Amino acid sequence: MSSSPTGRLVGARINRKEDVRILTGKGRYIDDVHGRGVLSAYFVRSVVAHGRITRIDVEAARAMPGVAAIYTGADMAAMTNPVNLLPPMPNLVGPTFPVLAVDTVRHVGDPVAIVIATDRYTAEDAGALVDVDYDVLDPVISCDDAFAPGAPQLFDDVPGNLIFTDEASFGDVEEAFASADRIVTDVLDQHRWSCVPMEGRGGVATYDQATGGLTYEASTQSAHLLRIMLAGFTNQPINQLRVVANDIGGGFGLKFAICREDIAVCAAAKKLGGSVKWTEDRNENLTSAGSAREEKLTVEAAVRNDGTLLGLRVSMDMNLGAYPGMASAFAIPKQILFMLPGPYKIPAYAYSVRVAATNKATYVALRGPWAAETLARERLLDKIADELGMSPVELRRRNLITMADQPCPMGTGVPLETMTAAETFERLVSKVDLDAIRAEQAAARAEGRLLGFGIGTAFEPAPGTAAYWANIGFPAGSEPMKMRIEADGKVTAFTSQVPHGQGHETTLAQVIGDELGVGFDDVRVVFGDTDATPYSMMGTAGSKAAMMATGAATVAAREVKAKVLEIAAHMLEASPSDLQIENSVVSVKGVPTSGVPLAQIAMGAMLAPGLMPAGVDLKLEADTSYDGETGGWSSGSHACWVEIDPDTGKIEISRYVVVEDCGTMINPGVVDGQVFGAVAMGIGGMLLEHSAYGPDGQYVAATFMDYLMPSAPEIPEIEIDHLEYQAPTMIGPRGVGEGGTVIAPAALMNAIDDALRQVGGTRIEATPVTPTRILEAMGVIPRE
């Protein structure tokens, strides 16, 4: 264990607690939950994109030995309530749909029946015998399909396949565009790609016939929200429903809230009065779990010839797939459009958006769900710089909001304070010699090689501010924590976070250890069990933990510490303000030999209360929350160097630099890990990964041979520099999990376009950037 420069736990690159079980194969993921009588579930899924179920025959399957039950959509509808996950909101039309398809299937992979059997092999054998006939309907694949006159309608209660519309305007947009020297327009057609956690979705539902209680051990990011939703859809009293999360093999947004399969598995366990396990396999995950990022944006900038931005106008279509999830239909498009002006002075801004229902799997959140805005904006800025003959650095510098400009509103009116994107940008630029890069590019061109360089910058709500979240229509909320000093002086903390790779058992123990003066190994962080942990809706999502859970841990630790010191003050005959706790011993400051072990105080409080000082609170517990103060932002700027093979179109990233600011780093190793992983995801999304559908709505990326995940050789060595700006809030850390995935696509795409520009290639307007698209852009091969 290395220690921090200050000798404290916070700031130290401490080895993670989680890794002891993870590295030795002792983690407990969903499929590791074994036990006598645990049945296996398998979903029979639609093989067509859009169709009417004309017949479903389960008799042969039901007759197979080992099959406990098969429930069709109609059976399941009798056991559950219809699903509609969208809140009442203007211009939002949420369809109501069954847990399993009853009459209509709306995407390839739509679940039509659940088979429950003694083991997975038998369940799949039986599933193969379920005979479903479909009357195939015309599919709706793109937003243009969805909005075309006479388009097939996905849902009776969603006229025109239009789930959500919104528009807003800030400042005098007409005037900005009328007075501009030029208007620069750009298009971004981002493809669909997916979260793809290495562990798919899943859960084990157990109904206890003795108590009537239902326990769902789930692969979830949001245990409490899942519990509330499950209770409603399965008619289970909430106080008889417990959700438990143990090790979770990644989420990236996919495992937020609830999925239809969760409901079916719980309803089946309740009906059977036993235990049912569903482990999503990779084929199901790629086909059915949902995917992200299918947005098409047209952005126009009103610009003066000196590079000053006067205004932006944006229109966006988002392809939501079928069966809208809780937040994706409105909160993600609003986040995209509220963040789009970014860290730049944009006096006038207008947006409009249409969200379409289509015959694809559900649109889900993916790490930095608003990322399309940074990609669209940063690409537009490079296009403007190119048209003005200005360097991309100079154009940004002219328009960035610096710390000196704040407090001030961003382009969407959201107040900004202590937002450091411009400062990360300047740090990045100080590491980059643009003239040398241009010279190197010219020299390479002379040898027939093609080099590109790109940058991107952004800030992110990590956790954001109350004003920001009010605009999105999603509550910011406070963060709870319960804490208890045990009889031996060790500490148990109960968080509402549901960590799935973020390392909160480690980082929160660092925070609590410092606050309470106890050792890292003396703190245990309990998560994921709704019977034990305090309620919050979010769980682990939205880059909130670094500030919010740290704040909750801090205020809870201070509360229990005050109680300890009050007791110790009597024992040591000193004022509480003169006492300290160090190495689990309470002593008078400056008189370490005066100490009383924390364990002695705790054991006395619990086991010998009569011997303790009278009139003091002996309950060494806290149940409190942190309000987030004024909130905060994280920022980052990236630079990317690429080399493109002009013969094959292959893109190689030769260098990658990140400057990020997430405030105080609790554990620099964890921070670096989040940045490396997030950047890798952004690179994979732009170059390799594609949740692709054919023109008939068939899903054509159902294996890892078709859906290409980045492996180690495809990802460059990434250099990171941290700004560690200390905001005036009591709590210093900010979230760092998402920015890499938001900014990397922008820096990478700008580098690719920079390379293409040098040889007269056309701009890339549609992703992913495959070698084929590069060769098309270079005119080497004709466009498809």
Asked if 12 interacts with other proteins (CB under 8 A), we say no
Q: Do 550 and 515 meet the contact criterion of CB atoms below 8 Å apart?
A: no
Q: Round to whole Å and give the CA distance between 588 and 769.
A: 64
Q: Round to whole Å and give the CA distance between 774 and 753.
A: 10
Asked if 365 interacts with other proteins (CB under 8 A), we say no
Instruction: Cis check for the bond before 87: say yes or no (omega within 30 of 0).
Output: no
* 215 bridge partner residues: 206, 242
**Closest CB to other proteins among residues 383, 500:** 500
Q: How far is the CB of 291 from other proteins (least distance, A)?
A: 14
**Closest CB to other proteins among residues 541, 567:** 541
Q: How far is the CB of 666 from other proteins (least distance, A)?
A: 13
Task: Give the pairing type, strands 275-279 and 309-319.
Answer: unpaired
* Binding residue (CB under 8 A) for other proteins from 305, 704, 766, 783: 704
Q: Round to whole Å and give the CA distance between 322 and 357.
A: 6
Asked if 584 interacts with other proteins (CB under 8 A), we say no
- Six-digit token string for 581: 């706790």
**Closest CB to other proteins among residues 281, 765:** 281
Asked if 409 interacts with other proteins (CB under 8 A), we say no
Asked if 547 interacts with other proteins (CB under 8 A), we say no
Asked if 125 interacts with other proteins (CB under 8 A), we say yes
Q: How far is the CB of 658 from other proteins (least distance, A)?
A: 11
* Binding residue (CB under 8 A) for other proteins from 58, 85, 564, 681: 681
Stretch binding other proteins (CB under 8 A), from 61-69, 78-86, 94-102, 595-603: 61-69
Q: Report the SS3 class of residue 548.
A: helix
**Closest CB to other proteins among residues 22, 766:** 22
Q: Do 296 and 188 meet the contact criterion of CB atoms below 8 Å apart?
A: yes
Token pair 């002086």 in the structure block, residue:
489
Q: Round to whole Å and give the CA distance between 482 and 504.
A: 15
Asked if 145 interacts with other proteins (CB under 8 A), we say no
**Closest CB to other proteins among residues 199, 460:** 199
Nearest partner of 258 among 457, 80, 38, judged by Cα: 80
Q: How far is the CB of 80 from other proteins (least distance, A)?
A: 29
Q: Do 423 and 723 meet the contact criterion of CB atoms below 8 Å apart?
A: yes
Asked if 232 interacts with other proteins (CB under 8 A), we say no
Contacts of 701 (CB under 8 A, 6+ apart): 286, 690, 691, 692, 707
* Binding residue (CB under 8 A) for other proteins from 487, 612, 709, 780: 709
Q: Report the SS3 class of residue 525.
A: strand
**Closest CB to other proteins among residues 29, 147:** 29
- Measured at the alpha carbon of residue 357, what is the angle toward residues 354 and 361, in degrees to the nearest 5? 125
**Closest CB to other proteins among residues 15, 240:** 15
Identify the H or E element spanning 377. helix 372-388
Stretch binding other proteins (CB under 8 A), from 14-22, 49-57, 297-305, 596-604: 14-22
Asked if 197 interacts with other proteins (CB under 8 A), we say yes
Q: Which of residues 588-647 bind other proteins (CB under 8 A)?
A: none
Asked if 529 interacts with other proteins (CB under 8 A), we say no
Q: Report the SS3 class of residue 130.
A: coil
Token pair 């429903």 in the structure block, residue:
241
Q: How far is the CB of 197 from other proteins (least distance, A)?
A: 6
- Six-digit token string for 749: 């795409």
* 457 bridge partner residues: 637
Token pair 């106890």 in the structure block, residue:
518
**Closest CB to other proteins among residues 15, 770:** 15
Q: Which of residues 265-294 bind other proteins (CB under 8 A)?
A: 281-282
**Closest CB to other proteins among residues 119, 647:** 119
Q: Do 325 and 290 meet the contact criterion of CB atoms below 8 Å apart?
A: yes
**Closest CB to other proteins among residues 32, 426:** 32
**Phi–psi pair at 451, nearest 5 degrees:** -115, 145
Q: Which of residues 374-393 bind other proteins (CB under 8 A)?
A: none
What DSSP state is assigned to residue 713? G
Identify the H or E element spanning 296. strand 295-303
Q: Round to whole Å and give the CA distance between 674 and 430.
A: 24
Binding mask 498-527 for other proteins (x = CB under 8 A): --xxxx------------------------
Identify the H or E element spanning 605. helix 598-607
**Closest CB to other proteins among residues 32, 486:** 32
* Binding residue (CB under 8 A) for other proteins from 47, 64, 606, 618: 64
Q: How many residues sit close enough to other proteins to count as binding (CB under 8 A)? A: 61
Asked if 663 interacts with other proteins (CB under 8 A), we say no
Binding mask 27-56 for other proteins (x = CB under 8 A): xxx-xx-x----------------------
Would the CA dihedral through 266, 269, 273, 274 be positive or negative? negative
**Phi–psi pair at 179, nearest 5 degrees:** -95, 0
Stretch binding other proteins (CB under 8 A), from 179-187, 425-433, 483-491, 703-711: 703-711
Q: Do 656 and 716 meet the contact criterion of CB atoms below 8 Å apart?
A: yes
Q: Do 186 and 764 meet the contact criterion of CB atoms below 8 Å apart?
A: no
Q: How far is the CB of 167 from other proteins (least distance, A)?
A: 36
Q: How far is the CB of 677 from other proteins (least distance, A)?
A: 4
* Binding residue (CB under 8 A) for other proteins from 9, 18, 331, 639: 18
Asked if 782 interacts with other proteins (CB under 8 A), we say no
Binding mask 713-752 for other proteins (x = CB under 8 A): x-x-xx----------------------------------
Q: Round to whole Å and give the CA distance between 356 and 362.
A: 11
Task: Give strand ranges (E) for 17-129.
Answer: 38-45, 51-57, 67-72, 104-105, 111-117
Asked if 141 interacts with other proteins (CB under 8 A), we say no
* Binding residue (CB under 8 A) for other proteins from 711, 759, 779, 783: 711
- Six-digit token string for 591: 């008189």
* Binding residue (CB under 8 A) for other proteins from 153, 673, 692, 696: 673
Q: Round to whole Å and give the CA distance between 289 and 280.
A: 9
**Closest CB to other proteins among residues 282, 398:** 282
Asked if 655 interacts with other proteins (CB under 8 A), we say no
Asked if 113 interacts with other proteins (CB under 8 A), we say no
Asked if 124 interacts with other proteins (CB under 8 A), we say no
**CA R_g for the chain:** 28
* Binding residue (CB under 8 A) for other proteins from 679, 736, 742, 751: 679
Stretch binding other proteins (CB under 8 A), from 167-175, 237-245, 368-376, 709-717: 709-717
- Six-digit token string for 268: 């089946």
Q: Do 343 and 401 meet the contact criterion of CB atoms below 8 Å apart?
A: yes
Q: How far is the CB of 703 from other proteins (least distance, A)?
A: 6
Distance, C-alpha 709 to centroid of its chain: 18
**Closest CB to other proteins among residues 184, 254:** 254
Q: How far is the CB of 334 from other proteins (least distance, A)?
A: 27
Longest dimension (CA), the chain: 88
Q: How far is the CB of 766 from other proteins (least distance, A)?
A: 25
**Helix extents (H) in 257-330:** 260-272, 282-288
**Closest CB to other proteins among residues 643, 754:** 643
Task: List residues binding other proteins (CB under 8 A).
Answer: 13, 15-16, 18-29, 31-32, 34, 64-66, 119, 121-122, 125, 196-199, 247-250, 252, 281-282, 500-503, 669-670, 672-673, 675-681, 703-705, 709, 711-713, 715, 717-718
